[in-house]
Structure 1
């Protein structure tokens, strides 16, 4: 259990009204506002130089903004836009939530969130909304500079995030799980020759980003690289690609690895050593009704599992991930299935498992 996860929620709100140099990016008391402000200034300086160059040479710029990201700290003016009433309360926000899949319930327990009250939710959600608006303002400044330098109309822009935020939905915060709020990310692609105002419901994944950028540049990708360029799909609706999205997770807060597939309006999640989950995203976008235990969907589950096994061997990949973490004993014992929390604690004390800086510290009895 991570005490810092609840602390982020308890301490959410308005950051101190100071100006820093952005630190190294992360500041547990101030958040990422100064980091994003400084990075935005760098991006604008770069665009000014590009706009002043006489030779028309190709260029590329990556802008890594951190908002919206915990710690949930935001300047006063952004917080005031939303607190306390300009927010949408999360659905299924139960702490604890015994209606969750057993593996997701493990995640909620490991986060150590404890009791989260409605005032606490309103506070942290207002701060998160404020971070989104602050991010929008920074992106707006970059767009304005592109236009000022007469670069906007000839520039491709890909706007995306690396993960979502549960923000109280299903009694969860942060990411890690396969719920839409966590695994779904924004994606906007704009550029010369691309249609505007178009929304595409075809599921895609961020692994497609690299071949898309190479396609924009007129370059070939290496044959062993995964993913498919988004450009044919954007330009003419081409379906010459896999019509599903795939995601996998082998990380913290989950006792067992999971693999997710989204296809034809359904989301299937395979949990190693546990039952799967299945949601109808069209009829149940809040993912409240797990269909995996409904016998009428047995064939659908088999179809998804068969598709999954064309992509990855879930048990083999899970074993490799656990082995890399030292969670498989010399005799092949899977500690994630057999070890109790007190036993794990004792092995950390003994130095069998590495005591990461972020791990909790225990006093000797």
Structure 2
């Protein structure tokens, strides 16, 4: 071989080696980009039916541009529900479930309900404590009362107060101001930790005292005279399609405040009262939309919006005239379901999924999104796979309970299009069964609604659906057993 060629080859190999070592050395010393932990803005409102929004019910007249845009920019869950309550203040177990990821019969004792097997020191594994340990800066603002006090205290910054008035100081603007002040303080001290903000609002829970301009927009008044009806106004929202002037049987909770003593409503179920009250509800909800917009614009100005998961939901739904009811102590869709929107890193825009999600699933999902180990105390399921487009739902069957007032109370189960509700209340004086096909009867019309279609009715007494009724009855008992329900209904096997 030519000596010159050998020499050239040696030189080339030598140079390649030098360049290789140089590149490796450069790669070793090159600063690598550390993936920034995501922030969280968890927005929880009080007493809001998903059907208040146009993206759940196209007939709604609520104007909520910020929340509607959030839905377009993120993912909407159609079947999101609270699991229920064993006490009259449905807010309380719901908020325990959100904070702890526990199911309804596995919560700490509360408000007269005693759980002999309640978990010890559970507050140490609730949202605030978990995210504190993970290096997050945590902040909370929300109402006072009917919640989970031990868990609420775990947040580093807590600004709680009940604000249900019609001014900036007495209403939803106060909660937004607490968040904005926190973000400004964080900016001023250059806090580089990721943040978890629990942005809770006291509205649209009654008393629904809206701001004067928003009440005027919806033709509503803060009615306070028990001996008269509120004025009718063409600007008021229309009656819901499943409105009734009274429920066909008692709901089982005697002297229930929500059904008998809400200021502006009391026991009235006439058209003027209901339309005015929906107008008040919408006025409060639009104000929430305005306040949320302020917070989102602040996050955008700080450059944090794109790296923030925004979760919008309610602790439960509400009736406000639907089925002749006013409160949240029932298991119809308007009350059992909750709005749920999630937007953030990795979530495709303008998505809609079934989900079959409980509020109990919020905590494990938050942990999953933040890459935090899910505590062993958690019983819910992470729905991150749903958010990331990997699956449409996380379970096939949904179970719900209301056992405040009189026991056993109400129970419901849903699978596919079929839903069963059973009532066993007032010491056996009321024992009723309802069977609905929600694909054909999404508004859960009953005989009093006067629909001519066979399917747009309660099918429990229709012999054509006896097999489906039996199937759903068996499924309900299975779910009651799965979740440790301590009661049995009149026609179930006794424990």
TM-score where L is the length of structure 2: 0.54
- Identify, as 1 or 2, the structure richer in strand: 2
2:443 to 279, 286, 291: 286
Q: In the alignment, is the contact (CA less than 8 A) between 1:51 and 1:150 conserved in 2? A: no
1:63-102 paired onto structure 2 within 5 Å: 63-83=199-219, 84-86=233-235, 87-98=237-248, 102=249
Question: 1:210 deviation in Å?
Answer: 0.9
Tell me the equivalent position of 1:300: 468
Q: Residues 225-257 of structure 1, C-alpha deviation per residue, up to 9 Å, x if partnerless? A: 2221121012124257312332212213x5642
1:156 to 294, 297, 309: 309
Partner-residue secondary structure (3-state), 1:213: helix
Tell me the equivalent position of 1:317: 485
Q: In the alignment, is the contact (CA less than 8 A) between 1:51 and 1:151 conserved in 2? A: no
Q: Residues 320-356 of structure 1, C-alpha deviation per residue, up to 9 Å, x if partnerless? A: 9xxxxxxxxxxxxxxxxxxxxxxxxxxxxxxxxxxxx
Partner-residue secondary structure (3-state), 1:293: coil
Question: 1:135 deviation in Å?
Answer: 0.8
- Identify, as 1 or 2, the structure richer in helix: 1
Q: Kindly tell me: are residues 195 and 173 of structure 1, through their superposed partners in 2, closer, same or farther at Cα, counting changes over 3 Å? A: same
> Which whole-Å CA distance do the structure 2 matches of 1:42 and 1:28 have between them?
15
Tell me the equivalent position of 2:374: 221
> Which whole-Å CA distance do the structure 2 matches of 1:53 and 1:26 have between them?
29
Q: Residues 187-231 of structure 1, C-alpha deviation per residue, up to 9 Å, x if partnerless? A: 011111111111112321111101111101112323452221121
Partner-residue secondary structure (3-state), 1:173: coil
1:1-365 paired onto structure 2 within 5 Å: 25-26=161-162, 34-52=170-188, 54=190, 56-83=192-219, 84-86=233-235, 87-98=237-248, 102-104=249-251, 106=252, 111-112=259-260, 113-238=266-391, 241-252=394-405, 256-272=408-424, 274-288=431-445, 289-313=457-481, 317-319=485-487
> Which whole-Å CA distance do the structure 1 matches of 2:304 and 2:483 have between them?
49
Larger radius of gyration: 2
Q: In the alignment, is the contact (CA less than 8 A) between 1:257 and 1:318 conserved in 2? A: no
Question: 1:62 deviation in Å?
Answer: 0.4
TM-score where L is the length of structure 1: 0.72
Greater relative contact order (Cα 8 A, min sep 6): structure 1 or 2?
Answer: 2
Partner-residue secondary structure (3-state), 1:164: coil
Q: Residues 91-147 of structure 1, C-alpha deviation per residue, up to 9 Å, x if partnerless? A: 34333333xxx453x459853454433222222111111011011111111111111
> Which whole-Å CA distance do the structure 2 matches of 1:154 and 1:311 have between them?
38
Q: In the alignment, is the contact (CA less than 8 A) between 2:385 and 2:391 conserved in 1? A: yes
> Which whole-Å CA distance do the structure 2 matches of 1:256 and 1:234 have between them?
36
Q: Residues 269-324 of structure 1, C-alpha deviation per residue, up to 9 Å, x if partnerless? A: 2334634322111211110111122222222233323333333239983549xxxx
Q: Kindly tell me: are residues 107 and 290 of structure 1, through their superposed partners in 2, closer, same or farther at Cα, counting changes over 3 Å? A: farther
Aligned length: 294
